[in-house]
Structure 1
Amino acid sequence: MTQLSFSAGRLLALYEKVAEAPDAVSRLRRFVLDLGVRGKLVEQDPADEPAVELLKRIAAEKVRLAKAGEIMKPKPLEPVEEPLFVVPMGWIWTRLGNIAAYIQRGKSPKYTAADGAPVISQKCVQWAGLDLTVAKQVTLDSLAKYEPIRFLRENDLLWNSTGTGTIGRVIRLFEPPDKLVCDSHVTVVRCLGVDPEYVRTWLRTDHVYGVIEERAAGSTNQVELTSQMANNQPVPLPPLAEQRRIVAKVEELMALLARLEAARDQREATRDRLTAASLARLTAMKARAEQEKGKAGLPAGSEPHDDAFPARFALDALPALTARPDQIGQLRQTILNLAVRGKLVKQDPTDEPASELLKRVAAEKARLLKAKMVLRQKAPSSDPDYAIATLPSGWKGIALGDLLNFVTSGSRGWSEYYADSGPFFIRAQNIRFGQLLLDNLAHVQPPSNSEGSRTQVAKGDVLIVITGAGVTNPAILEREIGEAYVSQHVGLARPTDPKISWWLLLCLMADHGGRFELVERAYGAGRPGLNLDNIRSLTIPLPPLAEQHRIVAKVDALMALCDRLEAALTIADTTRARLLEALLHEALAPVSTAEREAAE
């Protein structure tokens, strides 16, 4: 009985339904392979010689080759008692060793730096084909000792046998150079009497490659594909003529998927460029408005800009500018940059200017110093290279240290004070970008001297990772948590006025608010890290206090909107993935007689 073939048109129709699924093309590639080795990709022809007859001829040829001394005497292999799935009529389950004249891992060669011959390692076996540019050299003397059967031939399959991320890759060899060999990390499969490309198709399916890759990725020890495992690998074998039809159809559909993938990549690249350009345009809106005021003879910042802008931005721009969850991060940074440049909320000319806030902060710092409640800190000095060119009316560019009572970091050598209970200990791993994780804090029993009290945190403190992988990550201690201290990898910046803490956090998160300078300081040279002067001297913009509060509230609202949008996009991706799986499952279901007759 024939099976309906799976045409390019059917694949294209399926792709149109699931094109937006995150891994649509890669999943469809695996689907095509699966259809092929199940006999669901091309029609079966009752006139084809059954695979069992093909196996008989292969067995007879192996006996002849063994008598001629061209191959080793074949060892009998156990029949496949529990096949993975039911195969069509005329097919048979067999083992790879039954349809191969030679299966063997390469030797461990004697390498040389020059005047040798290339040897294939697992790095040379790429899905795109053989890459000899990364091949090592084997000495010509050792190569002369190789048995002739080990030299690679046209149509040999090279099957990676080791290495997480490389094990299971399989390629077909075309026009190999003379006396080319593999090392011990690659298995050679030399097919006999069957289409080697069909065998490669089977070895690329999830039934084989997926299982090997999963086992390698999930193991703490190195997983190896031994020659014995390769010999005993079950294979669903169609008649030879059908093998060739399957290979041709797989190549046709894979070429179609390659074109679809290229078109999708181009669409995504165009969409990414459009998103980036749109976000850049949003950031530049106010600058153009100020330029227009200048042309009209009005002073910059002379009047509040239309508050309809943030509403349009929030309600209209956000969904239009993002189509994937990974784009939300770029959108969040745009919001932060708009915030610290005064482009997110309306300016109010009646607000007390930032210069008055600075005077109050300076007076309070002087009072604390006189009362010996804080120690005198090194005076900050802003870098003129990072001076802020233009600011809204009432704003001021300052050094971060102008707003702080002190900047310090945790003490070294506190590992001896770790405890099962007691005061909390905030470490770098507790600080994410803009977020302090309080659910996994360590405990310490700190020393009783002043060195302990120096690093104690308080509500409103701004914390910055100063060494390690998360360097420059900022967070704020937004509520009382009791007695707590910071580690040596965390910088502690205490604002003189706790009401400005949230504004400082925005500046440390926004590229235009000071983060760009902070990152450059951390990664400027050598091992990434910040010193306390890097923090004190950071150039930041300072708005009036009332405007700070309005900006922080607007940022909170827009970030919540981003959270909802990100969740919706993630749900959409999950839904598409489920639809893809459902459609693939449906496509693998048996075709009914009525459907077959209707199609014919």
Structure 2
Amino acid sequence: MRHFDLIAQAPGGVARLRELILTLAVQGKLVPQDPSDEPASELLKKIRAEKDRLIAEGKIKRDKPLAEITDEEKPFDLPTGWEWARIPEITHGLGQGEPTASFSYIDVAAIDNAKGRIALEVQVLEASDAPSRARKNVAQGTVIYSTVRPYLKNIAVVEYEYVPRAIASTAFAVMHPHTGVLSKYLLHYLRSEPFTEFVNSKAVGVAYPAINDANFFQGVIALPPAAEQSRIVTRVEELMQLCDALEASGQLEAQQHAQLLGTLLATLTQSETPEALADNWQRIATHFDVLLDRPEAVDALEQTILQLAVRGLLVPQDPTDEPASVLLQKIRTEKDHLIAQGKIKRDKLLPPITDEEKPFELPQGWEWAMVGHIAETNTGFAFKSSEYKSEGTLVFRVTNIRPDGSVDLSDSKFIDPISAESTYKGFKLQAGDVLLVMVGGSLGKIGVVDEKCLPAVLNQNMWKIVINKNVDRQFFVLCMRYINRYQLKVTSSTHGHLAQGEYLQKLVGLPPYVEQIRIVNRVNELSSLCADLRQRLAAGQAVQSHLADALVTG
């Protein structure tokens, strides 16, 4: 028995999702930019040269001078390599006139406005039967836009060479793209929310609002490099197919859902500032009813939150915070003081951090540090099973850490308390100690010791991570989780061994201390919301299961 996902219950959910995909696409947030692409500024130069040639050959008319695009007309900031262009800068018309022979007539009724397509079979009329509106020439690749009741989005690409030749209604604005401008990209932009808002602002009339050609062709288009247009079109069509599947069945298969969710959550991690994140988050958040409809989706959201946290995007920076450079200097000074007193050994010299190692740009006030700059690792002891007692001091083993990091004492082993205080004193644990599994199938698992474990000593195959007091423990645990997932690529199926020297050289983006606290508080808030959502999903699944059982047994 198949049950509808939340999207099936959300009014207009799929339509809203389609709008979101187009909005992200035309803002350059759906596929990454490639600095090796020829920029759109060069494409515009080639288009101007092509336009001049076609004018000289008498194939198109010269456009009227176009006004310079003002900042007020630009609905969003462009990625590097993109340019703003008015519609006539990148397209041209194909002329118009009264038909003199039979023709294929494309009128508004021929448009599938949900998919942006023209019917394969359209009316074929004799010239003598031509309606007065059958005037505008089109060809394969032409984009047509109904300027009457534009909110219906009767917009499409002429995908075929019709026989006899096609003529469109004067209800359409006709745009034939110049070389280097993809018809499908132009179609997606014209259907997107930014352009729709422009058209609505210029349309006049109540019952049948319309925009005249003069105003329509003043519209601006965000133009990517030609190669990026192709990537955008491919990605949009992949995601629209997922929307089709969702619309048809009310749910997506796991792989399809993961693809859609991954694409949209990636727009969050591509944000460059907390302010940009807030904007992107708002777009995604309005579709959470569609996206977060299963536990795996909540897992993906939590991983996204983790990435945002360690990159400094979850909370705004405060220029009055003491910068992390001062914090690192304090740590170094304290270490040197303890070394001079003979209380600790001199730490091994860590190599300098190169630009190639840095995985992302840091916010103002942050600094790159290696794990070894701000923490130390102490290994456990290989206790023998012959030493185990039925009670006494707990031997904290790998099996005492659950996958979520909480402590599991259901299978506990103990040693004699006297031995723990003497022979094994160096392996004693305290509440709050952070532990990391360094070998085997649980590699990378992180645990935090709590009061109920004590007294306890550390077993083999784990490190106790001693974090400097100038670094918040919970923030450092977030960094450890990020290192495991994105630097070490640790998953639930990973086996192997983690070398101490390698781990100490892993990079951490270190914020000011007070910002660390703000980040932890924000992550805790969001994690609480995720936990609540998991409970709601589990409750929903339980209801569905009971209902299914009742139907089967009823």
Matches within 5 A, 1:111-510: 268-285=254-271, 287=272, 305=275, 312=282, 316=286, 318-381=288-351, 384=354, 386-404=357-375, 406-433=376-403, 435-440=405-410, 441-445=412-416, 447=419, 452-477=424-449, 481-497=453-469, 499-510=471-482
Superposition deviation, residue 561 in structure 1: 0.5
Instruction: Check whether the contact 1:382–1:539 (CA below 8 A) recurs between aligned residues.
Output: no
Instruction: Check whether the contact 1:306–1:346 (CA below 8 A) recurs between aligned residues.
Output: no
Q: 1:523 to 1:311 in 2, by over 3 A?
A: closer
Instruction: Check whether the contact 1:386–1:517 (CA below 8 A) recurs between aligned residues.
Output: no
Q: 1:317 to 1:378 in 2, by over 3 A?
A: farther
Superposition deviation, residue 284 in structure 1: 1.2
TM-score by length of 1: 0.47
Q: 1:320 to 1:554 in 2, by over 3 A?
A: farther
TM-score by length of 2: 0.50
Between the aligned partners of 1:539 and 1:337, the Cα distance in structure 2 is: 14
Between the aligned partners of 1:445 and 1:310, the Cα distance in structure 2 is: 57
SS in 2 for 1:407: strand
Instruction: Check whether the contact 1:462–1:474 (CA below 8 A) recurs between aligned residues.
Output: yes
SS in 2 for 1:463: strand
Matches within 5 A, 1:71-110: none
Structure 1 stretch displaced more, 276-285 or 418-427? 418-427
Superposition deviation, residue 366 in structure 1: 2.4
Superposition deviation, residue 367 in structure 1: 2.9
Q: Which of 559, 562, 581 is the aligned partner of 2:530?
A: 562
Q: 1:564 to 1:315 in 2, by over 3 A?
A: farther
Query: Percent same amino acid among aligned pairs?
Result: 27
1:76-118 deviation per Cα after TM superposition (whole angstroms, max 9, x unaligned): xxxxxxxxxxxxxxxxxxxxxxxxxxxxxxxxxxxxxxxxxxx
Instruction: Check whether the contact 2:429–2:454 (CA below 8 A) recurs between aligned residues.
Output: no
Between the aligned partners of 2:456 and 2:283, the Cα distance in structure 1 is: 40
Between the aligned partners of 1:403 and 1:582, the Cα distance in structure 2 is: 58
Structure 1 stretch displaced more, 332-341 or 446-455? 446-455
Size of the aligned set, in residue pairs, is 313
Q: 1:449 to 1:323 in 2, by over 3 A?
A: closer
Between the aligned partners of 1:344 and 1:403, the Cα distance in structure 2 is: 22
1:389-430 deviation per Cα after TM superposition (whole angstroms, max 9, x unaligned): 4100111111001012x3121122443332222222211112
Instruction: Check whether the contact 2:396–2:457 (CA below 8 A) recurs between aligned residues.
Output: yes
Between the aligned partners of 2:280 and 2:428, the Cα distance in structure 1 is: 39
Aligned to 1:517: 487
1:115-147 deviation per Cα after TM superposition (whole angstroms, max 9, x unaligned): xxxxxxxxxxxxxxxxxxxxxxxxxxxxxxxxx
1:351-399 deviation per Cα after TM superposition (whole angstroms, max 9, x unaligned): 1111111111122222333333333343334775532341001111110
Between the aligned partners of 2:259 and 2:357, the Cα distance in structure 1 is: 28
Aligned to 2:188: none
Between the aligned partners of 1:540 and 1:564, the Cα distance in structure 2 is: 30
Between the aligned partners of 1:565 and 1:367, the Cα distance in structure 2 is: 49
Q: CA RMSD in A?
A: 3.6
Between the aligned partners of 1:364 and 1:407, the Cα distance in structure 2 is: 18
1:528 matches 2:496: yes
Unaligned runs of 5+ in 1: 1-14, 22-258, 290-303, 587-600
Q: 1:577 to 1:438 in 2, by over 3 A?
A: closer
Superposition deviation, residue 543 in structure 1: 0.7
1:552 matches 2:520: yes
Q: 1:521 to 1:283 in 2, by over 3 A?
A: closer
1:416-455 deviation per Cα after TM superposition (whole angstroms, max 9, x unaligned): 3322222222111122345230533432237469762222
Instruction: Check whether the contact 1:430–1:437 (CA below 8 A) recurs between aligned residues.
Output: yes
SS in 2 for 1:491: strand
Q: 1:377 to 1:454 in 2, by over 3 A?
A: farther
Aligned-partner residue type, residue 335 of structure 2 = K
Q: 1:475 to 1:359 in 2, by over 3 A?
A: same
Aligned to 1:56: none
Superposition deviation, residue 456 in structure 1: 2.0
Instruction: Check whether the contact 2:331–2:374 (CA below 8 A) recurs between aligned residues.
Output: yes
Aligned to 1:169: none
Aligned to 2:542: 574
Superposition deviation, residue 282 in structure 1: 1.3
Q: 1:306 to 1:386 in 2, by over 3 A?
A: closer
Instruction: Check whether the contact 1:332–1:559 (CA below 8 A) recurs between aligned residues.
Output: yes
Aligned-partner residue type, residue 265 of structure 2 = L
SS in 2 for 1:326: helix
Between the aligned partners of 1:350 and 1:519, the Cα distance in structure 2 is: 36
Q: 1:365 to 1:445 in 2, by over 3 A?
A: farther
Q: 1:347 to 1:540 in 2, by over 3 A?
A: same
Between the aligned partners of 1:563 and 1:311, the Cα distance in structure 2 is: 19
Q: Give the greater-gyration-radius structure (CA).
A: 1
Q: 1:535 to 1:455 in 2, by over 3 A?
A: farther
Aligned to 2:509: 541
Instruction: Check whether the contact 1:388–1:397 (CA below 8 A) recurs between aligned residues.
Output: no
Between the aligned partners of 2:4 and 2:537, the Cα distance in structure 1 is: 15
Aligned to 1:133: none
Aligned to 2:87: none
1:517-552 deviation per Cα after TM superposition (whole angstroms, max 9, x unaligned): 23479999xx60112212211111111111110010
